[in-house]
Amino acid sequence: MRIRNVLVFSAAVLAGAMAGSLVGPHPAEAVAREMIELQRDVTTLLQGQKDLTTQITQEHTGMRTIVDQTNSSLGKIEGTMGSLQKSVQDVQANSGARLDTMSTQVQGLSDNLEEIKSRLGKLNQQLVDLQNSVQSIDAKISGTAPAPATGTASPTASASPSSPPPSADTLYSNGLRDITSGKYDLARSEFQEYLKFYADTDLASNAQFYLGEIAYKQKQYEEAVADYDKVLTNYPKSFKLAPARLRKGMALIELGQKTGAVRELREVVRRYPGTEEDRQARAKLKELGVPVTATR
């Protein structure tokens, strides 16, 4: 708009100058000077237009460069997102094996804690027995008859002709060590012997659970289901109830018994909310494509 106004003004000045030269008797020098000034203004105006055109071209080139750089950055972001999505998929694919390993480690720590509690209980009983022995010795020294010790064998009872079994601690520790190192057959015999001699101890349910774990790892899924059922039936106060029911559901899946497996997994969610077993059961139900709770 500014350029057009200048051109119109210049044309008007030129026309006026020519009209004035025709109407009035102006000197030739004045007309020549006005013509020269007018030409200089027009030249300046044309140079300004050229500079403006050059500036617009440069700005357009800069904007185009910015757009190209933005498109390139978007392409890189899309590539990065693709790589990230693939990484997430790989993590999801490997999460099952990792979670199974972590679950086994957590169970091992829990078993060690139970074993420590059992040993503390035995140490306490040994202290009681020692105190009873000291009292018996004091009674003999003082000439009084000692009180009969609770749980001690009669002095006339004959010793068992067979050799005594290994201690409960030895059998359980050996079984836990062998199952951890993959010596499943040896661990099975040790846990079975533990249950044979020490079925009423605090760790008996653990031994029964690990028999199920050994069968599961050796792909003997029917035997695993039976062993897990014994934990659920024979040890109603065991802290292995949640993992036993979860693993029973997993074994049923391996046997192709989806209906029974879904029932057990839903029981885990219902009975043990907020536990690690609850989380694993929910993930497995989602993987099977069934709702967490039964629909009516």
Give me the pLDDT at residue 65, please: 74
Nearest Cα residue to 242 out of 199, 214, 195, 205: 205
The CATH fold assigned to 167-288 is 1.25.40
Band the pLDDT of 243: cuts 50, 70, 90: very high
Q: DSSP secondary-structure letter at 1?
A: -
User: Residues 165-199: pLDDT tens digits?
Assistant: 889 999 999 999 999 999 999 999 999 999 999 99
CB-based contact 153:187 (threshold 8 Å): no
Q: Tell me how far CA of residue 46 lies from CA of 15, 38, 50, in angstroms.
A: 19, 12, 6
- Residue 223 CA to residue 134 CA, distance in Å, equals 50
Q: What are the tens digits of pLDDT across the range 283-295?
A: 999 999 999 887 6
Q: Give pLDDT tens digits for 1-56.
A: 555 554 555 555 455 555 554 444 455 677 777 788 888 888 888 887 777 777 77
pLDDT at 124: 55
pLDDT tens sequence across 245-281: 999 999 999 999 999 999 999 999 999 999 999 999 9
- 201: pLDDT confidence band, cut at 50, 70 and 90? very high
Q: How many Å apart are CA 49 and CA 43, to the nearest integer?
A: 10
The 10s digit of each residue's pLDDT in 111-122 is: 666 666 566 656
Domain edges within the chain: 2-74, 167-288
Beta strand extents in 112-255 (DSSP E only): none
Q: Over pLDDT 90: what percentage of the chain?
A: 42
* Euclidean distance between CA atoms 270 and 253, whole angstroms: 19
pLDDT band at 154 (very low <50, low <70, confident <90, very high): very low
Residues 268, 277 contacting (CB under 8 angstroms):
yes
From CA 277, how far away is CA 242, in angstroms rounded? 6
Closest CA to 220 of 254, 256, 179: 254
Helix H or strand E segment including 242: helix 241-254
Check residue 58 and give its pLDDT.
74
Least confident of 58-72, 87-101, 145-159, 256-270: 145-159
Lowest mean per-residue pLDDT among 97-111, 136-150, 192-206: 136-150
Residues 6 or more apart whose Cβ sits within 8 Å of residue 284: 249, 250, 253, 265
Span of 6-10, 64-68, 125-129 with lowest mean pLDDT: 6-10
